[in-house]
């Protein structure tokens, strides 16, 4: 490292000395050593270069004395060479490494949810008041077969449907990438609300098996933490092929995060890097995938639906068709806004396609092929509000996965430093000094509240459309209209432009 | 009696209990006045003991048979027979600090107020429903509850 950095700090910590009472809460809570105290001079000061703008100090300061400012761009304004590009180049000139980042794609690509509008009833069809009339949000996940014969009814290889009380589940975040406290918060909230959380690829810690009935247990390319007890404990088994934030590449949990309990859960030696290969080395085709799906079904006596999670990539519809034909019960598709604990910046920001287009394409393709009923479609990747959820379901999803929104509910401020393991909010860290900041009691309540609020809003939106069941909205694209979209986009999304009648 | 109990698993070492304690025991009950005008910094009656990553807030246990009361030479330290709260009648304190020396928990510290000696010890915020340290703990690491002896 050169002694002189060519870049000024990105953020500036401003302390109002008129307000500061020198309680040092900021110094104790800063995860990145930006807040400092000089005991000899009884002076608080900040090392701006260390600040990542996670806002922990700002939130904890009892005096409201702190503000973090973004420093002005360290350059002449240049629309082509943005500040981000400059900082990345300088960082790589200093380190020679691959740029790493966390959370989801933060680049200004279009968000189609923001260009879709919902319908409501007026005069000719009545709207429904969800506070007065029943409104059904329960969703069943799994494979629905065609009208059955008596023999097929007795078919022992049909997996059961799994009900969830709201079409929102917590997406995969592994124990290891997030703290035990954060993981437990998700598990508790999922159980309390009657939905599912997802173990990610890190297994299920022994003490959380009481929540296993609400767990989607993942089987990923590293096979961490996978054993018969784990598979049979979960409610749904998910084969992770890809992740929206980093399609086509594997995972790497650094050895520092593999503490004794993480190592035990993952069934790997303590302190070793947990490397998930980019592909499953036993899956090079749809036929191979079918083998794994049925291996898992055999291992669980056909009692667990099997989900296959892929990232939304260019050929997603054809791949989804193959997955459905391979015997999966659920297809989870993770769009390019999906988050991660660690990914190369270039991959996160430049690989994959928007989830809105992927849902529409997959739903359309499966319908055309007459196999839509064989699978449930779960959409993931950057769902920010209940409106996004409703629009995704109208586009054809059965349910959605949320993860970034859940972490924000737990305190995450999107500083994107998950990969450092220093999370000031006690989420993406295994450091006991930091992780204890997240009391799972409080975390579970906040997550429950989020699900409750969104579910209420979904009911209101459904009621406005005159629909009393989420099942009636699925793939009902007549309830959507596009604004500012061109003809290709409208065609791909299967929606009309705002202003066009039924 | 209801006492303050710490849950070390969730104590995150922010020391906000100390800040809230100081404000609750200030004349103004105002954060800025307490620190900037009344100069009460460092006079918290609850102290967060640190052995990182562990930390835990320690305050008076309001013992059944308090040594501080037994040892008090001026009769200032008393145990309220109704509520069980051990507190100091500050106008009677002569500053001998026998209570400080006698406390098995190290929960009393010598202090002063307006030039007079005052033992800094928790009084469970006698006039409030809930002690300020408990009410203000951002991570519910402190709870105020009734527990059976030995629990």
Residue A342 in any domain: the answer is yes
Tens digit of each residue's pLDDT (9 = 90 or more) over B73-97: 999 999 999 999 999 999 999 999 9
Among A36, A69, A97, which residue terminates a domain? A97
The answer to whether position A262 is within a domain reads yes
Whether B151 maps to a domain, the answer reads no
Strand partners, A472: none
3-state SS class at A187? helix
Chain A, chain B: beta-carbon pairs less than 8 Å apart:
55
Q: Are residues A52 and A171 in the same domain?
A: no
In this structure, is residue A306 part of a structural domain? yes
The pLDDT value recorded for residue A416 is: 97
Here the CATH number for the domain that contains residue B60 is 3.30.70.20
Cis peptide before A238 (omega within 30 of 0): no
pLDDT at A2: 53
* Ramachandran angles phi, psi of A211, nearest 5°: -100, 5
- Report yes or no: B53 and B9 within 8 Å, Cβ to Cβ: no
Residues A67 and A126 in one domain: no
Task: Identify the CATH number of the domain in which residue A237 sits.
Answer: 3.20.20.70
How confident is the model over B62-70, as a mean pLDDT? 96
pLDDT higher than 80, residue B149: no
- Tokens (6 digits) for B61: 């246990």
**Based on the domain organization, do A246 and A284 belong to the same domain?**
yes
Look at residue A151 in the predicted model and tell me its pLDDT: 75
Last residue of a domain, one of A97, A124, A148: A97
User: In whole numbers, what is the pLDDT of chain B averaged over residues?
Assistant: 94
Per run of 10 residues, the mean pLDDT along chain A (length 502 residues) is 78 97 97 97 97 97 98 92 94 94 96 97 92 95 83 81 98 96 98 98 96 97 96 98 95 90 96 93 96 97 97 98 97 97 96 98 98 97 97 98 98 96 97 97 98 98 96 96 97 97 84
Residue B114: pLDDT band by 50, 70, 90 thresholds?
Answer: confident
Task: Give the mutation candidate from A56, A411, A437 for the B interface (greatest B CB count, under 10 A).
Answer: A437
Q: Give the pLDDT score at A5.
A: 79
Question: Is A106 part of a structural domain of the chain?
Answer: no
A42: three-class secondary structure by DSSP: coil
CB A410 within 8 A of CB A449: no
pLDDT at A3: 67
Q: Work out the end-to-end distance of chain B between its first and last CA atoms, rounded to an integer number of angstroms.
A: 13
Taking an 8 Å cut-off on Cβ atoms, the answer to whether A62 and B19 are in contact is yes
Q: Say if A465 falls within a structural domain.
A: yes
Specify the pLDDT at position A148.
Answer: 73
Q: How far apart are CA A75 and CA A269, in angstroms?
A: 47
- Which of A29, A37, A42, A62 best probes binding to B when mutated, by most B CB atoms within 10 angstroms? A62
Looking at the fold, whether A131 and A84 belong to one and the same domain comes out as: no
Residue A257 gets which letter from DSSP? G
How remote is the C-alpha of A453 from its chain's centroid? Answer: 18
In a domain, residue B28? The reply is yes
User: Quick one: pLDDT at residue A284?
Assistant: 96
Give me the pLDDT at residue A149, please: 77
Q: Which domain holds residue A41?
A: 11-97
**A81 and A118 assigned to the same domain:** no
CATH code assigned at A69: 3.30.70.20
Q: What is the pLDDT of residue B150?
A: 60
Q: Chain B closest CA to A422's CA: distance in Å?
A: 14
Indicate whether A105 belongs to any domain.
no
Q: Which position has the higher pLDDT, B150 or A391?
A: A391
- B139 contacts on A by Cβ (under 8 Å): 436-439, 442
Which of A22, A63, A437 is facing B139, going by the closest CB pair?
Answer: A437
Burial class (CB in 10 A: 0-12, 13-18, 19+), B80: middle
Taking residue A93's Cβ as centre, other Cβ atoms within 10 Å add up to: 10
pLDDT score recorded for residue A150: 77
pLDDT at residue B151 greater than cutoff 60: no
Ramachandran quadrant class, A100 (left: phi over 0; alpha: psi -120 to 50; beta: rest):
beta
A222 within some domain: yes
Which of these three, A97, A126, A158, is where a domain ends?
A: A97
Q: What is the DSSP string of chain B?
A: -EEEEE-GGG--S--HHHHHHHHHTSSS--HHIIIIIS--TT--SSEEEEETTEEEEE-----SS-HHHHH-SSS-EEE-TTT--EEE-GGG-----HHHHH-TT---EEEEETTEEEEE---TTTTSSS-HHHHH-TT--EEEEE--TT-
Residues of chain A in Cβ contact (below 8 Å) with chain B: 19, 21-25, 28-29, 60, 62-63, 426, 431-433, 436-439, 441-442
Number of domains in chain A: 2
Contact at CB, A426 and B12, closer than 8 angstroms: yes
* Same domain? A234 vs A129: yes
Q: Which residue has the tokens 């004794």?
A: A260
| A334 and A362 belong to one structural domain | yes
Do A431 and A298 lie in one domain? The reply is yes
A87 and A148 belong to one structural domain: no
- What the block records as the tokens of A495 is 């929606």
Domain count for chain B, please give it. 1
Closest approach of B145 to chain A, Cα-based (Å): 17
**Looking at the structure, do residues A345 and A491 belong to the same domain, yes or no?**
yes
Query: From chain B, which residues contact A within 8 Å (Cβ)?
Result: 9-16, 18-20, 31-32, 35-36, 41, 52-53, 138-141
Q: Is residue A502 part of a domain?
A: no
- Domain boundaries, position B74: 2-146
What is the distance between the alpha carbons of residues A162 and A142, in angstroms, rounded to a whole number?
6
Pair A138, A37 in one domain: no
Using an 8 Å CB-CB cutoff, list chain B residues near A180: none
- How big is the CA angle at B143 (ends B141 and B147), to the nearest 5 degrees? 130
**Residues of chain A neighbouring B32 (CB-CB closer than 8 A):** 19, 21, 63
Looking at the structure, do residues A400 and A253 belong to the same domain, yes or no?
A: yes
Mutual angle of helices A386-395 and A440-465, in 10-degree steps: 50
């Amino acid at each position: 490292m050169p002694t002189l950095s060519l870049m000024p700090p990105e953020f500036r910590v401003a302390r109002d000395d008129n307000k500061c009472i020198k309680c040092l809460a900021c110094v104790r809570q800063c995860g990145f050593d930006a807040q400092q105290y000089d005991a000899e001079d009884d002076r608080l000061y900040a090392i701006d270069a260390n600040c990542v703008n996670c806002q922990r100090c700002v939130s904890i300061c009892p005096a409201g004395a702190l503000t973090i400012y973004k420093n002005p761009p360290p350059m002449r304004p240049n629309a082509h060479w943005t500040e981000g590009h400059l900082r990345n180049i300088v960082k790589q000139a200093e380190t020679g490494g691959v740029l790493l980042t966390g959370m989801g794609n933060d680049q200004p690509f279009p968000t189609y949810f923001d260009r879709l509008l919902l319908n409501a009833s007026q005069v000719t069809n009545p709207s429904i008041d969800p506070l007065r009339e029943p409104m059904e949000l329960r969703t069943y996940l799994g494979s629905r077969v065609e009208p059955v014969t008596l023999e097929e009814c007795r078919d022992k290889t049909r997996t059961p449907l799994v009900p969830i009380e709201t079409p929102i589940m917590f997406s995969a975040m592994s124990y290891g990438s997030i703290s035990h406290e954060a993981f437990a918060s998700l598990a508790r909230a999922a159980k309390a609300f009657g939905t599912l959380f997802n173990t990610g690829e890190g297994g299920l810690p022994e003490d959380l098996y009481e929540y296993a009935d609400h767990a989607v247990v993942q089987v990923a390319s590293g096979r961490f933490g996978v054993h018969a007890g784990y598979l049979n404990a979960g409610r749904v088994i998910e084969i992770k092929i890809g992740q929206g934030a980093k399609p086509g590449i594997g995972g790497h949990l650094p050895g520092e995060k593999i503490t004794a309990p993480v190592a035990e859960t993952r069934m790997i030696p303590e302190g070793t890097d947990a490397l998930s290969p980019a592909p499953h080395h036993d899956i090079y085709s749809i036929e191979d995938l079918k083998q794994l799906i049925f291996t898992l079904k055999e291992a669980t006596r056909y009692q667990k639906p099997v989900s296959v999670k892929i990232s939304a990539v260019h050929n997603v519809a054809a791949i989804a068709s193959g997955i459905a034909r391979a015997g999966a019960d659920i297809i989870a598709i993770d769009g390019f806004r999906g988050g991660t604990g660690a990914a190369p910046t270039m991959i996160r920001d430049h690989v994959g396609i928007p989830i809105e287009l992927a849902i529409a394409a997959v739903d359309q393709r499966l319908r055309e092929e007459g196999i839509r009923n064989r699978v449930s479609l779960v959409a993931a990747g950057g769902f920010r509000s209940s409106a996004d959820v409703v629009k995704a379901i109208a586009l054809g999803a059965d349910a959605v996965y949320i993860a970034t929104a859940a972490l924000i509910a737990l305190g995450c401020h999107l500083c994107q430093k998950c990969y450092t393991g220093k999370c000031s909010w006690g989420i993406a860290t295994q450091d006991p000094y930091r992780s204890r900041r997240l009391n799972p009691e409080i975390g579970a309540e906040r997550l429950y509240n989020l699900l409750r609020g969104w579910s209420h809003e979904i009911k209101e939106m459904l009621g406005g459309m005159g629909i009393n069941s989420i099942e009636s909205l699925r793939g009902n694209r007549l309830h959507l209209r596009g604004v500012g979209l061109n003809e290709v986009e409208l065609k791909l999304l299967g929606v009309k432009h705002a202003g066009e009648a039924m | 009696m209801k006492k303050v109990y710490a849950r070390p698993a969730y104590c995150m070492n922010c020391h906000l209990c100390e800040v809230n304690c100081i404000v609750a025991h200030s004349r103004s009950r105002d954060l800025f006045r307490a620190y900037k005008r009344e100069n009460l910094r460092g006079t918290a009656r609850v102290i967060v003991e640190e052995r990182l990553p562990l930390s835990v807030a320690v305050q008076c246990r309001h013992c059944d048979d308090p040594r501080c009361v037994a040892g008090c030479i001026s009769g200032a330290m008393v145990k309220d027979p109704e509520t069980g709260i051990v507190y100091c009648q500050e106008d009677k304190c002569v500053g001998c600090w026998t209570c400080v020396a006698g406390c098995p928990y190290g929960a009393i510290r010598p202090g002063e107020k307006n030039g007079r000696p005052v033992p800094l010890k928790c009084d469970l915020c006698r006039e409030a429903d809930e002690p300020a340290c408990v009410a203000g703990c951002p991570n519910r690491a402190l709870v105020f509850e009734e527990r059976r002896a030995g629990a």
